[in-house]
Amino acid sequence: MVSATRPASVTDELLERLVARVPGRSGATWKLTEVYTGEVLVELPQSTPEDIEDAFAKARAAQALWAQWPVAKRLEVFDRAHTLLVDNAHRTADLIQVESGKNRRMAIEETCDPPMVMSYYLKRAKKLLAPKKHGGPVPVVSGSTEVRVPKGVVGIIAPWNFPFATGLSDAIPALMAGNAVVVKPDNKTALSPLFGISLLEEAGLPKGLFQVVCGEGPDIGPTLIDNADYVMFTGSTATGRVIGERAGRNLIGCCLELGGKNPMIVLDDVDVAEWVEGTTFGVFGNTGQICMHIERIYLPESRYDELKSAFVERAANLSIGAAYDFGPEIGSLVSPEHRDRVASHVEDAVAKGATVLTGGRARPDIGPAFFEPTVLEGVTKDMLAGHTETFGPVVALYPYRTVDEAIHLANDTDYGLNASVWSGDLARAEAVAERIESGNVNINDALATAYASKGSPSGGVKKSGVGARHGDQGLLKYTDAKNVAVLKKQVMGPRPGQGYDAYVKQMLSSLKLMRRLRVR
């Protein structure tokens, strides 16, 4: 087994300081390991229901003061935090790699997400949170004001595949809006979000406002949801159903980004070289552990062999390794357990008649959770890889005869998170994109363009989620709208001595007049 040397920045002192933030009165711990080697890095405290209730109580106390800060003062914290996050990108990437096993490129790119989110909302938050004047039922003498009020304490359940990005980026607009946050990172990847929170506090975020609790989802999830005023979750559809149901019982809102079986349609006029490079990242980036990564590729029958050959050759030559530098193109899966899940999808497909064009094997010679980039052919819907999200470096190729057929096949899924269309003709690609049932569609890209467009909402349809992050909606969802209405003169009712029949006639005439004048 080839072992990578842990980065010098990830010291035992740093690890102990980070996990000291996690409450765990029972003394129970979880062994957080370095993925490349399997070495135990630190014992992560596991929070009890009482720990979670205490965390929410502290967060509520801090939020009561934070919500009184002017928006401009709150934003100053994030202006400073932006600089700190960028300046500490490499140290953060070290932590991300240690705990998740992803390659260096993906770790560095993950560190860029919270600053990008900050930058967008630093420009938009003042306007979004400012009171907005609206007309009232009677022109001139009445009016209303829309006031945005923070929800209170937001519970965030973050996934292991992008722990730093989701742990912080989903919290940033919530905090800007005046909320407190209690985040539950995955046990496997708690270090980088803990480090990010310490940087926010260094930038001036009040202590206590951003709490962290740790534990297995079934153990602490119910208590977290029961104490939250809003829940943000990224993860599987099965878990999303449970969270949505509990949030509904508690009459609180939730935003759920869930699973996907993301398709790509390649049109017959595509440039093969550009397509191969873009698709390689869209399929194998983060070792296939991206919610929006491509798992199904539909190729035109007229160019199927050409495109297949070029893509398989590129996939077969991807460099895979355990290293804390920019050498390997492919890193590890997050754990041996997840490696086994990915392998089971490949084995099931082969047993039922699919062909492995390249890859298909675990690589224990590199590290305990490595798996080769894998391209399959002949996958059908009765196979796990044909209808269930694999969430690994595995993709299936399919030929199609007509564009209508390709669109039908792309839409033939319960999911609708992300899709991709490739063509040399943008108008043609856009026409196809309009017919795909997905919350995100990338043209001549696999996934990054949509997700990095922070001004547009990003979410799923069908069984891929409820609500969205990013865009104006990504901040406003963490607020309630209060309607403050003013009537300057008592004109809503019959005048003294006026009968109700006469009043109604006057009222209906006024409605017609206001419509003609476009007053309302």
Contacts of residues 6-9 at CB distance under 8 Å and 24 or more positions apart, as own/partner, are 6/34, 6/39, 6/98, 6/324, 7/94, 7/97, 7/98, 7/324, 9/90, 9/91, 9/94
CATH class of 262-454: alpha beta
Residue type, 240: G
State pTM to two decimals.
Answer: 0.96
Active site residues: 257, 291
How long is the chain?
A: 520
Domain(s) labelled CATH 3.40.309.10 in the chain stretch across 262-454
Domain(s) labelled CATH 3.40.605.10 in the chain stretch across 12-258+472-479
Query: DSSP E strands: which ranges in 322-415?
Result: 355-358, 374-377, 394-400
Q: What is the pLDDT of residues 129-161, one digit of tens each?
A: 999 999 999 888 999 999 999 999 999 999 999
Give the lowest-confidence range in 239-248, 440-449, 493-502.
493-502
Residue 303 has pLDDT above 50, yes or no: yes
The residue that leads in pLDDT, 493 or 298, is 298
Give yes or no for a contact between 36 and 4, defined as CB atoms under 8 angstroms apart. yes
| Residue 212 banded pLDDT, cuts 50, 70, 90 | very high
The predicted structure's pLDDT at residue 1: 43
Q: Which residues of 22-34 are buried (b: 16+ CB within 10 A; e: fewer)?
A: bbbeeeebbebbb
Q: Exposed, middle or buried, 10 (CB in 10 Å: 0-12/13-18/19+)? A: buried
Rg, the chain, Cα only: 26
Residue type, 169: S
| Backbone angle region of 285, left / alpha / beta, with phi > 0 → left and psi within -120 to 50 → alpha | beta
Domain 12-258+472-479 has CATH 3.40.50.720: no
Which residue has 């041996």 as its token pair? 336
Quickly count: other Cβ atoms within 10 Å of residue 509's Cβ: 10
| Residue 505 banded pLDDT, cuts 50, 70, 90 | very high
Give yes or no for a contact between 440 and 450, defined as CB atoms under 8 angstroms apart. yes
Q: What is the pLDDT of residues 161-194, one digit of tens each?
A: 999 999 999 999 999 999 999 999 999 999 999 9
